[in-house]
């Protein structure tokens, strides 16, 4: 574990963004910083990308620190939250964007790949949400990440969609378990979005076909999803225990 601190304690609201070094996580971290949050950028292994995210935030006048932690390891995640509290004075929002995806039909799915997705996507969400439920200040928000494939039932996504179904179940129940705490719990379920996680391993024909599914006839962008995160982290106090399918209208 390592931390790069760029500022001292601040009176601003504070967000932790897991998977914050790339893709939707990075865009969410930058958007929340632009909204005035101090941001802890969690990353799994690529310190250079995490440092680049912190640099982008600080160059734009924001406040950020990068911290390495395995989201499925409770000791690492506890240290991540400790860093947020020690550096910025508390935690208001947790955006859990870290995740892994391996695609194959159920009959061909490698069980080691299944276990890896289970560990990161299910256990990771449980561990991060557990710390968030214990530590968030009143008026806070927990934002998990599901996927629109849970509802679309696309062949080849069996194992991945199963892990995201678990995320949705945790999200809806945790929202109710936090009754009286003034903390919202929601999940964002993106459709096809132009990130490395989505694009890797797909040919141009597949990408074009999936882009054409939405009535808006394009892939989503990380910025599109970050808009939803910003809404749920800020003004959306009456949106709670929901899964927001941000997919351009795919049904």
**SS3 (DSSP) at 140:** coil
* DSSP code for 148: T
Q: What is d(CA 225, CA 183) in angstroms, rounded to the nearest whole number? A: 21
CB atoms within 10 A of CB 49: 17
Q: Is 160 a catalytic residue?
A: yes
Q: Is the C-alpha dihedral spanning 125, 34, 30, 231 positive or negative?
A: positive
Q: What is d(CA 226, CA 27) in angstroms, rounded to the nearest whole number? A: 6
- Helix, strand, coil percentages, rounded to 5, for the chain: 45, 15, 40
CB atoms within 10 A of CB 138: 9
List the catalytic residue out of 160, 174, 198, 228.
160
Q: What is d(CA 188, CA 141) in angstroms, rounded to the nearest whole number? A: 13
CB atoms within 10 A of CB 159: 24
Active site (catalytic) residues: 160
């Amino acid at each position: 574990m390592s931390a790069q601190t760029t500022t001292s304690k601040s009176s601003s609201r504070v967000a932790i963004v897991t998977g914050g070094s790339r893709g939707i996580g990075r865009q969410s971290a930058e958007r929340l910083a632009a909204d005035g949050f101090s941001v802890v950028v969690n990353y799994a292994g690529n310190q250079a990308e995490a440092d680049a995210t912190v640099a982008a935030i600080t160059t734009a006048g924001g406040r950020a620190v990068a911290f390495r932690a395995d989201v499925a390891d409770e000791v690492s995640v506890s240290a991540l939250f400790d860093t947020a509290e020690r550096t910025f004075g508390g935690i208001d929002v947790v955006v859990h964007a870290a995740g892994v995806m391996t695609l194959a039909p159920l009959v061909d799915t490698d069980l080691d790949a299944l276990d890896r997705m289970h560990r990161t996507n299910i256990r990771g969400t449980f561990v991060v949400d557990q710390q968030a439920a214990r530590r968030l200040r009143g008026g806070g928000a927990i934002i998990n990440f599901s996927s629109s494939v849970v509802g679309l039932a696309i062949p080849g996504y069996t194992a991945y969609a199963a892990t995201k179904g678990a995320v949705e179940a945790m999200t809806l129940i945790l929202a109710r378990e936090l009754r009286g705490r003034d903390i919202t719990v929601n999940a964002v379920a993106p459709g096809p979005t132009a990130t490395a996680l989505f694009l890797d391993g797909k040919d141009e024909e597949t990408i074009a076909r999936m882009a054409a599914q939405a009535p808006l006839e394009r892939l989503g962008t990380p910025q599109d999803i970050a808009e939803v995160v910003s809404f749920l982290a800020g003004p959306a106090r009456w949106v709670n225990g929901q899964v927001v399918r941000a997919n351009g209208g795919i049904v």
